[in-house]
Structure 1
Amino acid sequence: MDARKALLIDAYRCFNGRDVEGLLSMMTDDVEWPDLPGGRVLRGKDEIREYWQGQFAVSDPQAVPTDFEPGATDDEIVAVVEHEVRGLGGEVLADQYELRHRYWFRDGLVRRMVVQ
């Protein structure tokens, strides 16, 4: 779990720093990622890149992992995350705590994420 935890800590740093390409380098080419506002699953790095670029153009989301839990299988880990979304002017748009992001891995890279 240590290598996956370290990868996710780096991924959250990249997310909060808006390093989209750094984030995508931590994922498999066929990665699946949730688009919660759109109610769909994004597939592949190109869809995720477009999603994040759009998200970052209109808001300033921050996600900070506070804990990691083992998943139900060996290729799975759950990140407990404090999540806040601000507008580009700094106003709080959404403030949520104790979100759980469940990740699955393949060959040391993220292959899927869901929000619980």
Structure 2
Amino acid sequence: MDARKALLIDAYRCFNGRDVEGLLSMMTDDVEWPDVPNQDVLRSKNEIREYWRGQFAVSDPQAVPTDFEPGRGEDDLVAVVEHEVRDLSGGVLVQRRETRHRYFFRDGLVRRMVVE
């Protein structure tokens, strides 16, 4: 679990620093990622790249892992995350709240993420 936990801590650091390419390097080529606002699943790094670029152009989301919980199987891990979204001038769009992100791994990389 330690290597996966370290990878996710780095991933959240990249997310909060808007390092999209750094984030994508931590994912498999066939990654699946949730598009929560549109209730859809993104199925490639290119789709995720465009999703995040669009999101970061209009908002300032921040996500900080506060804990990690074992998954249901050997290939998953749950990150407990404090999440908040502000507009670009600092106004709160989504109040700080706790969320759970379940990650599935393959070959040391993120294969899929689900928001619970």
Structure 1 residue 96 displacement after superposition: 3.7
Structure 1 residue 55 displacement after superposition: 0.2
Structure 1 residue 21 displacement after superposition: 0.1
**Aligned: 1:19 with 2:15:** no
Deviation sequence 1:52-78 (CA, Å, 0-9, x none): 000000000000000000000000000
**Aligned: 1:103 with 2:103:** yes
1:58 maps to a residue whose letter is V
Q: Which residue of 2 aligns with 1:64?
A: 64
2:89 counterpart SS class: coil
TM-score between both structures, scaled by the size of structure 2: 0.99
1:9 counterpart SS class: helix
Q: How far, CA to CA, are the matches of 1:73 and 1:57 in structure 2?
A: 36
Structure 1 residue 95 displacement after superposition: 1.5
Over the matched positions of the two proteins, sequence identity in percent amounts to: 81
Q: Which residue of 2 aligns with 1:74?
A: 74
Q: How far, CA to CA, are the matches of 2:97 and 2:67 in structure 1?
A: 12
Structure 1 stretches of 4+ moved >3 Å: none
2:19 maps to a residue whose letter is D
Supply the RMSD in Å over aligned alpha carbons: 0.5
Q: How far, CA to CA, are the matches of 1:108 and 1:4 in structure 2?
A: 7
Q: Which residue of 1 aligns with 2:92?
A: 92
Report how many aligned residue pairs link the two structures. Answer: 116
Q: How far, CA to CA, are the matches of 1:96 and 1:18 in structure 2?
A: 19
Q: How far, CA to CA, are the matches of 1:30 and 1:44 in structure 2?
A: 6
Q: How far, CA to CA, are the matches of 2:70 and 2:44 in structure 1?
A: 25
Q: Which residue of 1 aligns with 2:43?
A: 43
2:61 maps to a residue whose letter is P
TM-score between both structures, scaled by the size of structure 1: 0.99
Q: How far, CA to CA, are the matches of 2:96 and 2:18 in structure 1?
A: 20
